[in-house]
Amino acid sequence: MTRSRMLVICSLLLLVALPALAERPIDRVPAGLDYWQTLSGGATAYSFASNPIPAGFFCAGSAAYTGNVSFEGVPVHTVPARILGTTDTVIERLDDAVFDAQGNGRTRIRGRSLNLVSTEPLKSSCGSFNVTANLAANQPDSPMVFHRTFAYGGTFDAQLKLRVNITFTNVASGKAFSVVRDVYLPTINSTPFAMGDVAVACATPVDAEAVTFADGSPLYSNPRPVRPEKALVTAAATAVATGCLCNTNPPYQCQPVYSWHNPCATPGYDCEKHFTNTPCELGYRSQCVAQPVQDSYLQQLQILADKGYLHEKPETVLQKQLRSADQIERDQAARERQSRQKQ
């Protein structure tokens, strides 16, 4: 397969200057992890139009498939369980992004986890297939640039590349067929981020060093060097909240901002649209249940609906985003049972 990409911010709010909240301004974004939740309701989909599933793939005589598959996220399985809440996508920042005189800091990023499922089975002459998307082995490194616009935050741009394993599982027989795609997921607009005390007020830092995936592999791809003598702050002491816009006065509320990735306009790439936002249960949940933040959610979703990216009502999509990790998995299991019963 070829490449594709994702989507980055639909409504970008202006960040305002924050008062000094710590003794010294932060001079870098430390290496670490970003956690994302995928938006469903039609906002995340992959098109096989430019690189079809070949004839005979699903069974002898099956036609080539050139249609779309709509996806939603399922929480990543970890030990300890549920420590990443509703996160379905994990991206690792491999290096400290040290700000230069212009306020730009560069790092490399690498995909660590992707856990997407089709919102409904794909129907073919060979039967119905559930579709999943996960990361393949040997993930590439990609560039990411932070732009500091005030003492403790700003915006970032990323040119994320992933190797994605797309698996089609026959609902009746359980037989699975897989293809690998090189997916290109650049941000379309700059996404906000916050650091330090502001980020702590908006997000609960996760002790990622103590977390593993369910298969026992570490959350971090490589051990990170600790260089406290070269940094004003260390990764362990600094919270970083990406995809999060924090206000300036207590109580510090965090407004999750949807990120929009869409390579469809670029010739030569498979067409994928993909919206993500920061998951509430990673420390944002108390803010997400606040009415002003829910209103912001709904306003962003209404913009997507007006642009034709949603095939469900914004209110319905909002309620799906606010589900707990347990409820997301229960809903997914119920869909699979219904699919089997229809066979």
CA angle centred on 262, ends 257 and 267, rounded to 5°: 160
Residue of higher predicted confidence among 143 and 51: 143
Give yes or no for residue 21 having a pLDDT over 60: no
Whether 2 is covered by a domain: the verdict is no
Q: pLDDT tens-digit profile of 285-306?
A: 666 666 666 778 888 899 889 9
Whether 201 is covered by a domain: the verdict is yes
Among residues 237, 213, 254, the alpha carbon closest in space to that of 32 is found at 237
The distance from CA 127 to its chain's CA centroid, rounded to whole angstroms, is 31
Burial state string for 8-27 with b = 16 or more CB within 10 A and e = fewer than 16: bbbebeebeebeeeeeebbe
First and final C-alpha spacing in the chain: 30
**Confidence band (pLDDT; 50, 70, 90) for 24?**
low
Q: How far apart are CA 119 and CA 332, in angstroms?
A: 9
- State yes or no: cis peptide before 251, omega within 30 of 0: yes
- Highest-confidence range of 19-23, 73-77, 270-274, 275-279, by mean pLDDT? 73-77
Q: pLDDT tens-digit profile of 52-103?
A: 899 999 999 999 999 989 999 999 999 999 899 999 999 999 999 999 999 9
Residue of higher predicted confidence among 7 and 89: 89
Q: How far apart are CA 139 and CA 183, in angstroms?
A: 11
Whether 11 is covered by a domain: the verdict is no
Cβ(244)–Cβ(202) below 8 Å: yes
| Average pLDDT over every residue of 183-197 | 81
**Confidence band (pLDDT; 50, 70, 90) for 229?**
very low
pTM: 0.85
Give yes or no for residue 193 having a pLDDT over 60: yes
**Confidence band (pLDDT; 50, 70, 90) for 232?**
very low
| Average pLDDT over every residue of 315-331 | 91
Whether 337 is covered by a domain: the verdict is yes
Return the structure tokens found at 6. 């994702």
Say what the pLDDT of residue 19 is: 38
Whether 6 is covered by a domain: the verdict is no
Q: How far apart are CA 324 and CA 275, in angstroms?
A: 19
Say what the pLDDT of residue 228 is: 44
Say what the pLDDT of residue 1 is: 41
Q: How far apart are CA 92 and CA 237, in angstroms?
A: 17
Give yes or no for residue 243 having a pLDDT over 80: yes
Q: How far apart are CA 152 and CA 205, in angstroms?
A: 16
Whether 205 is covered by a domain: the verdict is yes
| pLDDT above 70 coverage of the chain, percent | 80
**Confidence band (pLDDT; 50, 70, 90) for 10?**
very low
The count of structural domains within the chain is 1
> How much is the mean pLDDT over the chain?
81
User: In Å, how far are 7, 11, 38, 187, 207 from 259, measured between CA atoms?
Assistant: 6, 8, 10, 7, 25
Residue of higher predicted confidence among 198 and 41: 41
> 145 exposed, middle or buried (CB, 10 Å; 0-12, 13-18, 19+)?
middle
Q: How far apart are CA 85 and CA 328, in angstroms?
A: 11
Give yes or no for residue 198 having a pLDDT over 80: no
Domain, as residue range, for 143: 28-341
Residue of higher predicted confidence among 2 and 325: 325
Say what the pLDDT of residue 241 is: 83
Whether 12 is covered by a domain: the verdict is no
Amino acid at 155: T
Q: How far apart are CA 146 and CA 76, in angstroms?
A: 26
Q: Which residues partner with 208 through β-bridges?
A: none
Whether 284 is covered by a domain: the verdict is yes
Q: Which residues partner with 273 through β-bridges?
A: 45
Say what the pLDDT of residue 13 is: 23
Q: Which residues partner with 272 through β-bridges?
A: 46
Give yes or no for residue 271 having a pLDDT over 80: no
| Average pLDDT over every residue of 104-133 | 95
Decide: helix, strand or coil at residue 319. helix
Residue of higher predicted confidence among 11 and 211: 211
**Confidence band (pLDDT; 50, 70, 90) for 4?**
very low
The contacts of residue 179 (CB under 8 Å, 6+ apart) are 1, 53, 165, 166
**Confidence band (pLDDT; 50, 70, 90) for 244?**
confident
